[in-house]
Homo-oligomer: A and B are copies of this chain.
Amino acid sequence: MMKEFYDLADFSVEQVEALISLATRLQHQPEPQALAGKVLSLLFLSPSLRTLASFQAAMVRLGGGSFVISPEMSIHGIESRAGIVMDGAAAEHISEAVPVIASYGDAMGIRAFAEGRSLDNDLADFEYNKLRQLVTTPLINMESAIGHPCQSLADWKTLDEIGVPKQDGRFVLSWAYHPRALPLAVPAATLQMAAMRGMDVTVLRPEGFELPPSIMDRAAQAAAASGGSVRETDDRGEALAGAHVIYAKSWSSTRHYGDKIADGDLRREFDDWCVDDPWFETTAEDCRFMHCLPVRRGVVVSDRVLDGPRSVVIQEAQNRMYAQMAVLHAMLGNGGL
């Protein structure tokens, strides 16, 4: 039985492919009694739409159920600092709240976004790990500071479905403009997924938005093991030539991480990084557009690309549910993985 689904890098390529097979099987052959009487506790410390909906739906489809806890539900306010005298607004500490919530479920999902202040803290997934050590049930990372494995599993399944080759598949993870400094979770997870899948992966981003060396190194090792490659460039022409996929996502400047003013000044120089038709001039003819959603139209990607035949963003989001059903089945079902 799977005990934790924290990061795709914790699994072998064979294990990931087994999960995707299971996801596809559950998509086509429902098992409405598989998790009868089983409970998933869902703890959202950051907002959610797709994840909130798809995990609840996944449990119902497998015959179980779930409950949702989000901070705005509790008047108490929840304290997370250690050793504090709680004479202020917060009436409850995570040391009590999290183990209790976890204990009501057979498995738990946690979403805790990056704080966006210290790159080291966020790369170490400081907030998520503070919660993780309070939980003894099987645990699913529903997006942390540096990981989003459910999205990656769904994206891998989508890549299989649209026929992007593993060997010699050209996958471009491109930074895009966005008015706010966003976390590194999706780019880091997507890079690792694409590398594990054996594709030739290019990270296309302006100077100042390099992915952290630890993230790049880890992906390079995964690529080497799978027969793929990883590189990083700010040269759009070089990056896009022959691409099978443009996966767009905005993220924070790593040069100015935690400094919103400097990040903003730098990113505004690149507000023309909006994926549009000209980006596809030298790609493979059937090059697809991917994004994890939510996406800002006219900012990250043009309407015509997003509404056109290249876009598979809805399919990616739909696959979230099937991917998560597979994870839940592997954690709580009779068959294991």
* Residues of chain B with a CB closer than 8 A to A109's CB: none
In the complex, how many angstroms separate the beta carbon of A102 from the nearest chain B beta carbon?
10
Per-residue interface assignment for chain A, residues 22 to 49, with 1 indicating a CB less than 8 Å from any chain B CB and 0 otherwise: 0000000011110011110100000111
In the complex, how many angstroms separate the beta carbon of A59 from the nearest chain B beta carbon?
8
- Nearest residue (CB) in B for A319 is B103
In the complex, how many angstroms separate the beta carbon of A306 from the nearest chain B beta carbon?
8
Q: Does A11 contact B (CB under 8 A)?
A: no
Q: Does A64 contact B (CB under 8 A)?
A: yes
A38 CA to B60 CA in the complex, in Å?
Answer: 7
A41 touches B53 (CB 8 A): yes
* Residues of chain B with a CB closer than 8 A to A61's CB: 37, 39
A36 touches B63 (CB 8 A): yes
* Residues of chain B with a CB closer than 8 A to A73's CB: 47-49, 52
A307 touches B95 (CB 8 A): yes
Q: How many residues of A contact B (CB 8 A)?
A: 67
* Residues of chain B with a CB closer than 8 A to A39's CB: 57, 60-61
Q: Given contacts A30-B37, A100-B317, A317-B103, is CB(A85)–CB(B298) below 8 Å?
A: yes
A295 touches B96 (CB 8 A): yes
Q: Restricting to A74-105, which residues have a CB under 8 Å from any CB of B?
A: 74-76, 79, 83-87, 90-93, 95-97, 99-101, 103-105
Q: Given contacts A103-B318, A317-B103, is CB(A294)–CB(B76) below 8 Å?
A: yes
Q: Does A236 contact B (CB under 8 A)?
A: no
Q: Given contacts A294-B96, A314-B96, is CB(A104)–CB(B299) below 8 Å?
A: no
* Residues of chain B with a CB closer than 8 A to A56's CB: 65, 67
* Residues of chain B with a CB closer than 8 A to A87's CB: 179, 296, 298-299
A32 CA to B31 CA in the complex, in Å?
Answer: 15
B75 touches A52 (CB 8 A): no
A65 touches B74 (CB 8 A): no
Q: Given contacts A87-B296, A296-B87, is CB(A37)–CB(B52) below 8 Å?
A: no
Q: Does A231 contact B (CB under 8 A)?
A: no
16 new A-B contacts at CB < 8 Å, known A47-B75, A87-B298, A96-B313:
A32-B36, A37-B60, A41-B57, A49-B76, A49-B92, A52-B69, A53-B69, A53-B100, A57-B104, A79-B297, A86-B298, A91-B296, A96-B294, A97-B294, A99-B314, A104-B321
